[in-house]
Amino acid sequence: MAGDESESRRRHMTGFSLATRIRRPYRAPFIAVLASLLLISPQAVAADRGGPDHGIAMHGELLYPPEFEHFSYADPDAPQGGRLTRAVLGSFDSLNPLVVRGVPARGLREYVFESLMARSFDEPFSLYGLLAESVEAAEDRSWVAFTLNPDAQFSDGEPVTVEDVVFSWDVLRTKGRPNHRNYYNQVSEVEQVGERTMRFTFSGEPDREMPLIMGLMPILPSHYYDADTFERSGQTMPLGSGPYVVDDVSYGSTITYRRDEDYWGNDLPVTAGHHNFEEIRFEYYRDANTMFEAFRTGAIDVRPEDDPTRWATGYDFPAVRSGEIVLDTFETGVPRGMSALVFNTRRAIFADRRVRNALLHLFDADWINRNLYYENYERTVSYFEGSELSARGRPASPRELEILEPWRDRIDDAFLDGTYEPPVSDGSGRDRRNMRAALALLAEAGWQLDGGKLHNVDTGEPFTFEILVATRDHERLALAYSQSLERAGIQVSVRQVDSAQFERRRQVYDYDMIPNFWFASLSPGNEQRFYWGSDAAETEGTRNYMGVADPAVDAAIDALLAAEERETFIDAVRALDRALMSGLYVVPLFHLPEQWVARWAHVGRPEEDSLYGYVIESWWRVPDGQAAQQ
């Protein structure tokens, strides 16, 4: 903050509430800009809980002490310079990743727009100082305070101020993506504490994750963005405080980031060993085969691989055999996430759980894994597969049963005692036992075969739906699945559209069935409401793509957000997992047993990996004449 305004900013002002409107212009004198901020003594805040800290953990203690120098998965002595070229499948038409309108270019959030704090990938969920040099939270997490780093500045040289934090919070809670609106509207009061410190007080029951959610809030320059036009700012050249600036844009084709020579945060522990490339370029491709060929020829430097067939057979070419391309595998300690074909239960045809169960029986996972993926995949069942958070194979604990008790009759015993497994086929692609089971379930739900076609016994309407996909790989999967469905008399059409159209239809739930992947972490939190909460089911732009509106799911989410200890948190997440699995909202697909990444040898990486696997932001361009880390 400017020195000539500091005295007025220390004066007591009226309290700020969500009913108070912040008026523009935001760079006006402080009394016109933040007239609703209440200035209180920093000593009064510190007395609540022993003073600020260098970081904050969701549960338990921080891994890194105040004097830490860098994250374990980053090398502070890494060479700097050169270009990294990455590939993206699809297209983009926006330079604003914080609004619903448009498809944003890759990398904007990571390289241009910084948060108050930075996440450590060595821990389930912990944050350390970035734009904010310290953080402090109430014991019950009912409020959080951040003190800005005095050196923090945007790439145009303007300092990051309390005013910018307020602007960012206000514009994102009113104009941002649905998850931002949901999170930031939980703030009931904003106060200034000293010259560089902001305190956010939350409404309702304390939510232990909200201080961390606020720590991850992207900070925008209030002197650059206009609150009134923010939702329409997709074509505005972005300005942030991050290590890179946008250097060149060709909409739908390429975006290039150039490292900011005057980046303010070069000497921070959370950035040490990161952002080593002088230039980062994302090139967009319309189909996966073309994108792979670009990597083979050296046009692309790094390729994360998620196709087991390609991993098994596609990397037998000269550059791999000679060592010019290195194939890396990374073990992780995190959930595998849920990859699935999603039933849109907003559609009447999928509203009946028995119908969804029948279509689950008609998915021959064994045949598909063998014939499409060389059996390199493993079948997914749990939404937190492969981690301590998964309920798969585990009987419900007393605490889980307590959470789910009001809705026990809605959850099959197999999901409560941990014995549930999806239908297993004989791998022939024509499993008669599963077909009989599926037809029996469909008959219970009012569907009967007539002349080889499935019809509703009451209306006579045929059972028909569309699977919407955006890639050839998903098209191949959907076509294989449709063959089994058609043998049951179900008429299925598979429609492939470009990524932009797919995203537009997905945001407004204009589909019958789509493939989707939900990332899962070791510390699921508020985003679970955005993924599965009843309120999200009818709110456009959320990730509740199946339309879940289940009080058992909502109760489990509430429990995990309220948990203070790791043990009670795990119980709550497993209760959520059981409720979601029991709802049969998706046809679970597969997951990779590990992370696979192919890279040209001129791209180096640290010897140590993170808990979450690889972190490309800590990689570098190998100087000429040096060998890459194998």
pLDDT tens-place string over residues 193-211: 889 999 999 998 778 889 9
The DSSP symbol for 617 reads G
> How many Å apart are CA 190 and CA 144, to the nearest integer?
10
> How many Å apart are CA 374 and CA 364, to the nearest integer?
15
- Which whole-number Å values give the CA distances from 618 to 122, 512, 526, 608, 615, in the listed order? 13, 40, 28, 11, 6
> How many Å apart are CA 363 and CA 586, to the nearest integer?
11
Q: Do the Cβ atoms of 243 and 274 come closer than 8 Å? A: yes
138 token code pair: 């109430």
**What pLDDT, on the 0 to 100 scale, is given for residue 628?**
52
> How many Å apart are CA 24 and CA 126, to the nearest integer?
35
Q: Over the range 550-560, which residues count as b (16 or more CB within 10 Å of their CB) and which as e?
A: bebbbbbbbbb
Per-residue H/E/C for 485-523: HHHCCCEEEEEECCHHHHHHHHHCCCCCEEEEEECCCCC
**What pLDDT, on the 0 to 100 scale, is given for residue 67?**
95
> How many Å apart are CA 418 and CA 403, to the nearest integer?
16
**What pLDDT, on the 0 to 100 scale, is given for residue 627?**
58
Interval 448-457: pLDDT, tens = 999 999 999 9
DSSP string, 175-228: HS-HHHHHHHTTEEEEEEETTTEEEEEE-SS--TTHHHHHHT-B---TTT--GG
pTM higher than the cut 0.85: no
**What pLDDT, on the 0 to 100 scale, is given for residue 483?**
95
Q: In this predicted model, which residue has the larger pLDDT, 77 or 376?
A: 77
Q: Do the Cβ atoms of 154 and 160 come closer than 8 Å? A: yes
Q: Do the Cβ atoms of 21 and 174 come closer than 8 Å? A: no
Q: Is the confidence at residue 39, as pLDDT, over 60?
A: no
Of the candidates 414, 511, 412, the residue with the CA atom closest to the CA atom of residue 470: 511
**What pLDDT, on the 0 to 100 scale, is given for residue 2?**
35
Interval 265-323: pLDDT, tens = 999 999 999 999 999 999 999 999 999 999 999 999 999 998 888 998 999 999 999 99
The whole-number average pLDDT for the span 110-135 is 96
433 token code pair: 């036992």
Interval 369-389: pLDDT, tens = 999 888 889 999 999 998 889
The 10 Å Cβ neighbour count of residue 267 is 9
For Cα atoms 149, 108, 598, give the angle at the middle one, nearest 5 degrees.
110
Of the candidates 479, 485, 518, 470, the residue with the CA atom closest to the CA atom of residue 372: 479
**Which amino acid is located at 439 in the chain?**
L
Per-residue H/E/C for 240-257: CCCCEEEEEEECCCEEEE
Please, what sign has the CA dihedral across residues 584, 590, 594, 597? negative
- At residue 86, what are phi and psi to the nearest 5 degrees? -120, 160
**Residues listed for the chain:** 630
Q: Do the Cβ atoms of 591 and 390 come closer than 8 Å? A: no
Of the chain, the percentage scoring pLDDT greater than 90 comes to: 80
Q: Is the confidence at residue 43, as pLDDT, over 70?
A: no
Q: Is the confidence at residue 10, as pLDDT, over 90?
A: no
The DSSP symbol for 49 reads H
76 token code pair: 């502070």
Reported confidence tier of residue 608, pLDDT bands at 50, 70, 90:
very high
Per-residue H/E/C for 110-171: HHCCCECEEECCCCCCEEEECCEEEEEECCCCCEEEEEECCCCECCCCCECCHHHHHHHHHH
The whole-number average pLDDT for the span 43-47 is 41
176 token code pair: 């941002």
Give me Rg for the CA atoms of the chain.
26
**What pLDDT, on the 0 to 100 scale, is given for residue 309?**
83
Reported confidence tier of residue 364, pLDDT bands at 50, 70, 90:
very high
DSSP string, 340-400: EEEE-TTSGGG-SHHHHHHHHHT--HHHHHHHHHTT--EE--STTTTSTT--TT-PPPHHH
Q: Do the Cβ atoms of 562 and 207 come closer than 8 Å? A: yes
Reported confidence tier of residue 561, pLDDT bands at 50, 70, 90:
confident
Q: Is the confidence at residue 145, as pLDDT, over 50?
A: yes
**Which amino acid is located at 309 in the chain?**
T
Average pLDDT of the chain, as a whole number: 90
Q: Do the Cβ atoms of 216 and 115 come closer than 8 Å? A: yes
Q: Is the confidence at residue 338, as pLDDT, over 80?
A: yes
Of the candidates 432, 434, 439, 408, the residue with the CA atom closest to the CA atom of residue 422: 434
The whole-number average pLDDT for the span 14-42 is 35
> How many Å apart are CA 70 and CA 64, to the nearest integer?
9
**What pLDDT, on the 0 to 100 scale, is given for residue 526?**
83
Residue keyed to tokens 């919070």: 169
**What pLDDT, on the 0 to 100 scale, is given for residue 27?**
36
Q: Is the confidence at residue 219, as pLDDT, over 60?
A: yes
Q: How many CA atoms lie less than 13 Å away from 627 in the CB half-sphere? A: 4
- Residues with Cβ within 8 Å of 435's Cβ and at least 6 positions away in sequence, in order, are 361, 362, 487, 488
> How many Å apart are CA 554 and CA 528, to the nearest integer?
9
Cis amide bond preceding 308, omega within 30 = no
- Domains in the chain, start-ordered, CATH in brackets? 3-70+115-232 (3.40.190.10), 338-351+362-434+497-591 (3.10.105.10)
Q: Is the confidence at residue 34, as pLDDT, over 50?
A: no
**What pLDDT, on the 0 to 100 scale, is given for residue 307?**
83
